[in-house]
Amino acid sequence: MKKLLELFWTFAKMGAMTFGGGYAMLPILQREVVENKHWATEEELTDYFAIGQCTPGIIAVNTATFIGQKYMGVAGGIAATLGVVFPSLVIISILAGLITNFAHLTWVQNAFAGIQVCVCVLIFNAVRKLWKKSVVDKRTCVIFLLVLAGGIFLDLSPVWYVIAAAVAGIVLKNLEVKAV
């Protein structure tokens, strides 16, 4: 029970401090789950995040569920999921009552503009960390460039990019092995 509460409160703290969605949560996940708690490796977190993006639902919730399930089974998945959702539920319930009354105020609009810029920086830092761990050789660089080009020029679901990247990884690795 103590471990389940620890899962819940760890993810509740992350949920309370994450503004901007799942991408903004990635640096906090890396620090807490990988570095501090050792509930997952950097590679596992990257995999959970990718799968979380491809499955129905919110990336942060899906990723929390995967991590909790890995650490403590089904009960852990439920505890982590409830933890990451709980702060949002409370905050959104409070804000829903207030936002309609104050959204027209200039200082509220300016605050939201500042928060959006901050979220962009948090996402950029997460991408930079993922880049260092993921793009490690010519094969992964080619996959990165292909997915980047697809993301810029095509309007496809992220699921297709993940599937294409997986297939490209298999094909390119097999070509690399046959060349040796």
How does pLDDT run across 110-130, given as a tens digit for each residue? 988 898 898 888 888 888 888
Which one of 20-24, 77-81, 90-94, 135-139 scores highest in mean pLDDT? 77-81
pLDDT at residue 93 in the model: 86
Q: Are 148 and 168 in contact (CB under 8 A)?
A: no
Assign 19 a pLDDT band (cuts: 50, 70, 90): low
What's the rounded mean pLDDT across residues 72-82? 94
Task: Please calculate the CA angle 57-120-13 and round it to the nearest 5 degrees.
Answer: 55
Assign 20 a pLDDT band (cuts: 50, 70, 90): low
Separation between Cα atoms, residue 86 and residue 48, nearest integer Å: 21
What's the rounded mean pLDDT across residues 60-84? 91
Residue that the structure tokens 């760890």 belong to:
10
Tokens encoding 148: 């980047």
pLDDT at residue 76 in the model: 94
Rounded to the nearest 5 percent, the helix, strand and coil shares of the chain are: 85, 0, 15
Separation between Cα atoms, residue 83 and residue 48, nearest integer Å: 17
Assign 155 a pLDDT band (cuts: 50, 70, 90): very high
pLDDT at residue 86 in the model: 92
Percentage above 70 pLDDT, the chain: 97
Which one of 48-62, 89-103, 145-159 scores highest in mean pLDDT? 145-159
